Amino acid sequence: MSASSPPAYTTGDLQRIDDDCQAIAAELGFAMPPITYHLLRATEIYDIASRGLPGRYSSSRFGAIYSQQHGDYRMGRSRIYELIVNTDPVNAYLLDGNSIVAQTLVIAHCAGHAWFFGNNRWFDSTDRAILPRVRSAAERVDGYMAAFGRDRVEDYIDACEAIAVHQPQAQLIRRAPPQREQHRSGRYDALFPEEVAADRARIEHENTERKARWPTEPEGDLLGFIEHNAGQLEDWQRDVISIVRAEQAYFLPQLRTKVLNEGLAVLCHQEICQRLFLPSGQYWEYEQLNASVVQPHRVQVNPYHLGITVLREIMRIASEPDDEERERWAWAGEVDPLDQARAICTTYDDESLLREFLTPKVCGLARLFAYEHVQSDPRRVRVSSRECETIRKILIPRYARFGIPHIEIVDADHRGQGILSLLHREEGATGLDGEYARGTVAQMALLWGRPVMVESFRDGAPVWYVGRPDGTGETVTDGGWTG
């Protein structure tokens, strides 16, 4: 069906499909929160997709995303079938012009997402009343653009968004209050008085330094720290920081659970559509659509494919494990397959899922491989390994932090000059990309109002990337940056 031809169904037909899908989902144990469906034109669907949330503030960046995605749709290169927002009730968007079979698959798929939103622990603190706040924030941003200039406000928003993802999910990551270190007395302290005195002196010195340092403990919430501690901010700037930070917090659980969330949604649409007993012609179209959703990609991981592969393996282990799997998992062969899939989807995120279940068999079934660029032609790649351990070393760190580096603020008054000092913490990984790092710290410097530096490493040696409020930056080696 072309994008312009009218669909051969009514909203009443869609309502009946939704009723059938909800009934089957409940029978399968996937009773979901209420879902409100919206039948929208392509321009409206792609506008929401480019912004991430309906009614979000306007931005040239969102406009560029819209132009690319809608252009691909018009040229027949891609098509959005599913768009869902985790609110109360859940809002899902159907593309007007999709076939009745495509709408059926999307409705069944959204049933899985809605169940996941309501049951996975990483979504417990999601602001499900976010849409009115998003619209209110957009109105304020429009006012700031009118008062201070669109370019200035958009540049400031871009700077905020450059670091907004660097924030913890507070509902699950609660930092213990810093404890003053003390010397632990031993049975033989009296025999080594000089060593004990030296240890006490060291501890006292470190405690004094810690108390004088600001922040006293490394801070991973980069944008939040600037919002509360940058002294030169105007009221509108502090409000923009708050807006960007709050809206990014909404997306963090989705970033953390992309593979598991999409895998569960695929599992639901497959199980539901099998039980709808579609006519043969419609079932053939459904199989084509399902295959296009879960097919592996050539040089990147398809989260739909990896997610359903892992969940199907978990279900197999629950019902038909081998001896090694029985030894590894106490529940193997002892639980209902769908019950175990639900249990995993309730408590796990992508990192924990892959650490436990990315086995050699899953790597084979998901057709995963490591690749490298051909030295003679960097545009070409070749398979470098199909070994599970190699694949795990690549994939798990990527999903541990959504593919972003681990950066923390360690000193907000470096050298007593108000310089913001950050540290890049990575184990067994490469350093930061120099161009990206310089650009990002320059964005942070615009927000902080003073220079910002981040310490990383390159070829095993320390390196410092420095940014200034005027947008300039530099890379420094040989002992660090002196200001």
Dihedral pair phi/psi, residue 195, rounded to 5°: -65, -40
**Percent above pLDDT 90 for the chain:** 65
Q: Is the pLDDT of residue 183 over 80?
A: no
The pLDDT value recorded for residue 15 is: 96
Instruction: Let me know whether 386 and 411 are in one domain.
Output: no
Which of 340, 375, 400 represents a domain boundary (last residue)? 400
The pLDDT value recorded for residue 3 is: 46
Helix and strand totals (H; E) in the chain: 18, 10
Does a structural domain hold residue 187? no
Q: Is the pLDDT of residue 121 over 50?
A: yes
Domain that holds residue 61: 11-120+257-293
Kindly state the average pLDDT of the residues 437-441: 92
Tens-place pLDDT, residues 407-420: 999 999 887 888 99
Instruction: Let me know whether 306 and 347 are in one domain.
Output: yes
Instruction: Let me know whether 113 and 262 are in one domain.
Output: yes
Instruction: Let me know whether 440 and 395 are in one domain.
Output: no
Does a structural domain hold residue 372? yes
Instruction: Let me know whether 373 and 384 are in one domain.
Output: yes
The answer to whether the Cα torsion of 123, 127, 132, 136 is positive or negative is: negative
Instruction: Let me know whether 37 and 100 are in one domain.
Output: yes
Does a structural domain hold residue 263? yes
Q: Is the pLDDT of residue 126 over 70?
A: yes
Does a structural domain hold residue 191? no
Read off the pLDDT band of 2 (50, 70, 90). very low
Instruction: Let me know whether 310 and 279 are in one domain.
Output: no
Kindly state the average pLDDT of the residues 321-329: 95
What average pLDDT does the chain have? 88
Does a structural domain hold residue 156? no
Q: Is the pLDDT of residue 481 over 70?
A: no
Instruction: Let me know whether 304 and 374 are in one domain.
Output: yes
Kindly state the average pLDDT of the residues 165-192: 62
For residues 52 and 61, give the distance between their C-alpha atoms in angstroms, rounded to a whole number: 12
The pLDDT value recorded for residue 460 is: 76
Does a structural domain hold residue 333? yes
Does a structural domain hold residue 59? yes
The pLDDT value recorded for residue 482 is: 58
The pLDDT value recorded for residue 483 is: 57
Q: Is the pLDDT of residue 74 over 70?
A: yes
For residues 271 and 263, give the distance between their C-alpha atoms in angstroms, rounded to a whole number: 12
* DSSP letter for each residue of 380-447: EEEEEE--HHHHHHHHHHHHHTTT---EEEEEEEETTTTEEEEEE--SS-----HHHHHHHHHHHHHH
Q: Is the pLDDT of residue 434 over 80?
A: yes
Cα separation values, 273 from 107, 225, 279, 373, Å: 10, 48, 11, 41
Residue 280, Cβ density class (10 Å: 0-12 exposed, 13-18 middle, ≥19 buried): exposed
For residues 474 and 483, give the distance between their C-alpha atoms in angstroms, rounded to a whole number: 12
Number of domains, the chain = 3
H or E element that contains 458: strand 452-458
Instruction: Let me know whether 368 and 428 are in one domain.
Output: no
Does a structural domain hold residue 165? no
Instruction: Let me know whether 436 and 364 are in one domain.
Output: no
Instruction: Let me know whether 382 and 299 are in one domain.
Output: yes
Which of 360, 379, 400 represents a domain boundary (last residue)? 400
Instruction: Let me know whether 387 and 415 are in one domain.
Output: no
Kindly state the average pLDDT of the residues 17-41: 95
Which of 384, 400, 416 represents a domain boundary (last residue)? 400
Q: Is the pLDDT of residue 211 over 70?
A: no
